[in-house]
Each structure stands twice: as C-alpha cells, then as structure tokens.
Chain A
Amino acid sequence: MDANTPYQLFLSLTSGIFIGGIAGYLGTLMLSKKMSVVAGPLAHLALPGVALALVFGFSISLGAFPFVIVGAILIWWLEKKTTLPMENLAAIIFASGVGVALLVLPIDKAEEALVGNIMQITLPETLATIALSLAIFFVIARIYKKMMLINIYEDVATTEGINTSRCNLLYLLSIATVVALGVYLVGGLITAALVAIPAASAKNVSRGMWAYKIWAVAFGIISAIAGIIIARQTHLPTGPMVIISGVAVFVISIFFRRRFPHKKFSPLPIRK
C-alpha cells in the first residue's frame, strides 16, 4: 500500500503511539535497574529473525519475536546459572545476534531491518500491536512495584514475599515483546533508545514515581507522533526521526530539571 495515504498514516500513527507509549512505560523500570542497555542487545538479536523474514518474505515481527523471546529466556536462565550480571549476558547475546544476522541478512534489504518500516504496517499488524501493547501494560503494571523493590535491594524484596525469579521472567518477556514491537517502529539498531530516552527525559522533570511514569509514557507517544509526521513531510526514514524527536524532548527536559527537590513543604493534605 502507498505509504502516503491518510489511512496508512492512521495505521502508522496508531501503532506508533502504542509502541512509543509502552516503550516509555517499560523504560521507567529499565532505567532504574540500569537495564536500558539490555534492550539494545535484545533488539540486535531480532536481526537474524528479521533477516529470515526478509529472505522468506514473511512479516518481520513474526521473524523477530521468537528470537527475542528465546534471547530473553536465555538471559534469565543464564543469570540464574552463572550469576553473571544481566548486562554482561546481554552483551554475549547481542554478539550472537549481530553475528548471525550479518551472515544471513540480505544487505540490499537491510534498511528495513535496521531502521524499521512502520510506514508499511498493515491493519492486522496494527491490531496485534495494540493488543500486545495493552497486554504488556497490564503485566508491567502488576509487577511494577515488585520490580522496583527488586531493583533497589533483591534480598529485601525476597523477604517481603516477592517471587523474584517469576517477576524477572515476566519483566524480561515484557522487554522482549516491547523490543520486537520497537523493531517495527525504529528497527533493530536503535530500539534501546525508544526505551531509554523517554524515561531519561521523564526523570529530569519529575520527582515522584507517579509523575515519572506519566511523563515517560507521554514523551514516548510525543516522540512517535512527531517522528512519524516529520519523516512523512521531509521524506526521511521514520525510525531515526522518532529517535531524534525523542532526543529533542530530552534536550528540552534538561531545562526543566527538578534537580534540587528540597522545596519546603508541599501542600498535599496529610492527615494525622
């Protein structure tokens, strides 16, 4: 379908909004565990799947999903077995992903794999994106506080009765799904930015957890919309433009930093 029809733009914007929003939300958890780097390797792991999809002509997310999910489970399992830090394991997974991709990826078709193809997204793919984003949203909302406590101090989380292993697995599967969706929007190279940048901007402007989450989702959505529209007007690739929009938001957020949160007393009603 022609990428310039209003209908196509509607599909692209809709999926962009959902992917950007859920990536921003998930990013708030990942930033706190210094995990945003992990999204990168996982996205790179999607590359061999994308390559296979391109070679055999099926949907790139169908190719990406199994690789990313298996990668996430591998990281989870290896972390339990080896006690190596997650970032370290992700780097190993990353190398395997890129290595395999470079072997099988048809270089002439590589652009789609590298920078995404949200402007060609179909209706079923859009619907699947919405459904998956909502599902992930509910999963993350359920484990959010638990993951936060695990990130702060895992032993304390365990004594508070949290099943850390189960939470970690759900968390990684959520990351994997968001990453596979992100491959659509921005491609396999810069997905990490989709997760990391809105959360970083949100952190700049917020003091409490609630504001942090809301802003991250908002910034994710704003970046997606701005990126898609600017790319369409300028005939430049969409994925990189989404990321550049995110960076622009980040730069602006620096000037609204709440660095010194020692305002005396806030007028919230506190009953004693």
Chain B
Amino acid sequence: MLLEVNNLNVRFGEDEVIKNLSFQVERGEILTILGSNGAGKSVLLRALLGLLPYEGSVVWNQKMRVGYLPQGLNQLQVKDLPLTVQDFFMLKDPAPTVMTITKYLDLVGLERDILHKTAGTLSGGQFQRMLVAWVLVAHPQVLFFDEPTTGIDIGGGETIYSLLENIRKNEPLTIILVTHDLSVVYKHSTNVLCLNRKGHPCFGAPKEILTPQLLEQTFGTEVKFYQHQ
C-alpha cells in the first residue's frame, strides 16, 4: 500500500467539497479521478499533496518524490518573464544537465532547439509537453496530473498516456490523474474514483464500476460514452 485515505473531509467555510472519502492506492497503480465540474477533483489532488487543510487521514507509507502538474499552470503564467525553456528547467533543485533535459524533451516529442526559446512564447500544447518533461526529469515516484490532456497533441496517435506507459516500463511510477477522457480511463487506469457532491463516491476497477447508470450519476445525462473493447 502506497497511500491510504480515510474519512477525508475538505471544506471551504460552510461548503463541504469532499465528504467522508476513503480509498487506497497501491504502488505502481494508475488511479483516475472522475467527476463533473465542481465535484472536487482538483481539490482532492491538492489535499493529497498537503496543499489544503483537511480533516481525516492521508497516510503515505513512505516519503515520496512527487511530481505535480496542475491545471492552471500554462504559458500565460510565464509570459512576462525573460525565461527560456532551459532556464525553466534550471529552476529545479537539483538542476538537471542539458543532456538530461534534451532526453526528456525528446521523450515528449519536442525538438531540442526549443531550449533557447522563451517559455512564454510556446504554444499551449508545447508548453504542456514541456511541463510533462519538466515533471519527469526529477524521476518522481508519484505523479499528480490534473487534466494532462488539455492541449496536448503528441501526434502519430501517440498520447501522453502511452508515453507514461513507456516510462512506467522502466521506472516504478504511481499516477494519480484527473481526466474527462473516458477512453483513457478504460485503457490505462487500474482504479477509478468518481466524485460527486452527494457524498457517495464510487471506487474500483473501471470495467466493474463504470456502468452507464453510474456515469450518468457522475456527469449528468449528457455524457457521451463508448466502451473500448
């Protein structure tokens, strides 16, 4: 067991965003968190990372190297800074070597001449890919991805998920992921956690628990879904 969450409660003033949530994550697992807008997905990630005050227990079984890719971090955040992509990597402590950086840029499908471009002038997709490389470069043991597909187009039918699968072959990597992309859930997730504001979340393997009824409950009626065989 890597992570054990028991009776987690997160509230903002009167507003109970997460209510009595319990689940476990095993080492090497991919856990997907599903839920409609405002269901508390990002809040849950931030609580697990210790960025928010919460009640209940969140127990990591050892000290982990964590990588976090939040939803709100994009090229607009750095557009006012005279910061090249290489400078951006150098903000990490310890700073990676140029060789390591180019290796990871290559992994996410970026040319290495991007190193000398100003980070704020990258396109949304390029910046997202660079961030994935930025997070991976420190060999995290646990990855927290908040909607990593936003704006990512690796091309040739490759997705950020197949990239992560490849990395997982060589390095033990646990991934906790927020996404709306159901095909990803079926193809890549070990377990799914659906959140809703009603206080009865579901948790289990995707094929077992993701019934049309449950999806409707989680996302409302408009969800278009098809199951990958």
Contact = CB atoms under 8 A, between A and B. Distances in A.
Interface of A: 31-32, 34, 145-146, 148-149, 152-153, 155-156, 158-162, 202-203, 206-212, 261-262, 264-266, 268, 270-272
B102 A145 contact: no
Nearest to B50: A158
A160 B70 CA distance: 13
B175 to A, nearest CB: 15
Contact of B102 (A156, A209, A270): A270
B83 A149 contact: no
Interface of B is mostly: mixed
Interface stretch (B14-22, B108-116, B151-159, B218-226): B108-116
Q: What are the 3 A-B residue pairs with the smallest beta carbon separation, nearest first? A: A159-B68, A209-B87, A212-B82
Nearest to B68: A159
Interface of B: 46, 49-51, 66-68, 70, 72-73, 77-78, 80-84, 86-87, 90-93, 98-99, 102, 112-113, 115-118, 121, 144
Contacts of B98: 270-271
B118 A156 contact: no
Contacts of A31: 80
Contact of B99 (A145, A210, A272): A272
Given A145-B93, A152-B81, A159-B67, 7 more contacts: A152-B77, A153-B72, A155-B49, A159-B66, A208-B82, A262-B117, A270-B115
A160 B112 contact: no
B99 A153 contact: no
Nearest to A199: B82
A272 B45 CA distance: 36
Given A149-B91, A156-B68, A272-B99, A207 B118 contact: yes
A272 B102 CA distance: 7
Nearest to B67: A159
Contacts of A149: 91
A262 B121 contact: yes
B172 to A, nearest CB: 19
Contacts of A208: 82-84, 86-87, 116
A264 B113 contact: yes
29 contacts: A32-B80, A145-B93, A146-B93, A152-B78, A152-B91, A153-B72, A153-B77, A155-B46, A155-B70, A156-B68, A156-B70, A158-B51, A159-B66, A159-B144, A160-B93, A161-B93, A207-B84, A208-B83, A208-B87, A209-B84, A211-B82, A212-B82, A261-B117, A261-B118, A265-B116, A266-B113, A270-B98, A270-B112, A272-B99
Contacts of B77: 152-153
B134 to A, nearest CB: 9
Given A208-B83, A270-B115, A155 B78 contact: no
Contacts of B118: 207, 261
A57 to B, nearest CB: 45
B81 to A, nearest CB: 5
A148 B89 CA distance: 12
Contacts of A202: 82
Interface hub of A146, A159, A207, A268 (most chain B Cβ within 10 A): A159
B113 A207 contact: no
A1 to B, nearest CB: 42
A210 B102 CA distance: 20
Contact of B121 (A212, A261, A264, A266): A261
A234 to B, nearest CB: 34
Nearest to A263: B116
Contacts of B144: 159
Nearest to B118: A261
A270 B112 CA distance: 9
Contacts of A261: 117-118, 121
A158 to B, nearest CB: 6
